[in-house]
Structure formats: C-alpha cells, structure tokens
Amino acid sequence: VSFELMRHNLKESAELQKKYEENRKELIANISHDLKTPITSIKGYVEGIRDGVANTPEKMERYIQTIYTKTLDMDHLINELFLYSKLDLNRIPFQFEEVNIHDYLVDIIEELRFDLENTNVNISYKNDEEIQNCIVNLDREQFKRALTNIFQNSLKYMDKKEKIITIELKMTDEEVMLQFQDNGKGISKEAIPNIFERFYRADPSRNQSTGGSGLGLAIVKKIIEEHNGKIWAESELGKQTTIFLTLKRKNVIR
C-alpha cells in the first residue's frame, strides 16, 4: 500500500512540475509579446527622429510624447508583472485588520469621484442601512488595489456616452457581497470564465487601442483569494458587466 501511495504521489508531483513548466513557458511568451509591441513602436519613432522625419517642432513634440507614453506602458506592464509574480509566489505580506467595510468604501469612492471629476463617469453607491456597521478583515492597501483594478478595467471598455458604475454592498449572515456593475460593451459567455486568468483578453484587438497588461483582473483574483473571498462575473453583451466579490464578516457592531 505504501509503495502504491508513493507511486501516486510521484505521479502527482511530476504532473504538477509539468504544469509549472508549461505555465512558465506561457508566461515568458506573453511577456515577450507584450514588451515587443511598445519597444517596436519606440524604435520606429526614434529612427524617425534620427532620420529627420520629425522635421518640425510640432512633429518632434508628437514623436517625443509618443515615445514617453510607450515607456509608461512598459513601466506599467513590468510593475503589474512584478506584482502578479510576487502574489503568485506568496511573497507579499498582507496586513489584515478589522475594518468597517461601509466607511472604507465611502472613502475609496470619494477618492475615485475626485479622480474622475472632469470626466463623464457617474459612480453611484447603494447599501442596506444595517450593513453600515459591518466589520471585515482586510488589508487596506491591497484591497484598494483590487478595487482600483476593477474600476480601471470597467472604464477601459465602456462604450456609452454616459459611463455609469454602480457599486452595491449587501450582507448575509456570514458574508458581505460587493457588486460592481458597469454599462459597457459586456463580455461573451465564452469569455466570462477566463477573464480572471493572467494575460487573458476577451478581445485582443480591442486591447491594442486601450492598452493594458492583461494582468489586472488576475491580480484582483489573487488579492481576493488572499482575503479568503470569492470573485466572479456576469455579463450581458452590449449592455453591462457585473463583478461580484464576497468577504467573510467578522461581526456587526450594534
């Protein structure tokens, strides 16, 4: 029996090693592809400057601005990749504390509204009155990063003139549930199960114009899982996408 168990464990270990190796190869291929795009663009614009194509101050300004924007894209990609890798290897220490989820959300939403002040984005917040004293265990900084990534992902693909994001906080006996609903293009049924996977893009062609590392929602998933929470999405093409996440309740202060 012990020999059979050892053989089974070795087989599992070999399969796991194979999976890790395949993941590593896929990761390298995706990184190479995503870095090559801005590098090729930067190279083209630098050659244009060197060869005198940017022969007016306006053209030179445009070329330099484009180079700068592309380097920012690369910097963002590398930062996202570094963060995802650290989360994947459990190298980020989480500082959990008891937090009033309602008060925490009000602060974050206020900050987001301020950042989006001069845009046509409307953020609304709904909650049940009894949830206003609900306590959860969370890492303030990492959870804020997760919420910000959800917002950025929603805004990136919203195609309506008036962009609306509705945040709703609900409570059950054991959990709180956060819903983020946008009025964007929506996601196909086939794509929905994969949107939290690293480097996955529901519409690769669309991504070229909007930018993005393909890691944003994968990072969100890792952070929510570190909080022992769950995350999933539902969508209706052409109308909306809703992202749901749950966290365990600590207690309710009366």
Q: Are 92 and 86 in contact (CB under 8 A)?
A: yes
The pLDDT value recorded for residue 203 is 53
The confidence score (pLDDT) of residue 208 equals: 44
CA dihedral sign of residues 199, 202, 208, 210: negative
Which stretches of the chain drop beneath a pLDDT of 50?
Answer: 205-211, 253-254
12 membership: H or E segment, kind and range: helix 2-50
Q: What is the pLDDT of residue 202?
A: 55
What tokens appear for 160 in the block?
A: 């309506």
Q: Nearest 5°: phi and psi at 136?
A: -130, 160
Q: What DSSP state is assigned to residue 131?
A: G
CA-based nearest residue to 173, from 132, 131, 143: 131
For 245, left (φ over 0), alpha (ψ -120 to 50), or beta? beta
HEC-encoded secondary structure of 169-236: EEECCCEEEEEEEECCCCCCCCCHHHCCCCCCCCCHHHHHHHCCCCCHHHHHHHHHHHCCCEEEEEEE
Q: What is the pLDDT of residue 181?
A: 95
| pTM of this structure | 0.74
Cα distance between residue 198 and residue 215, in whole Å: 5
Strands 163-171 and 121-127: parallel
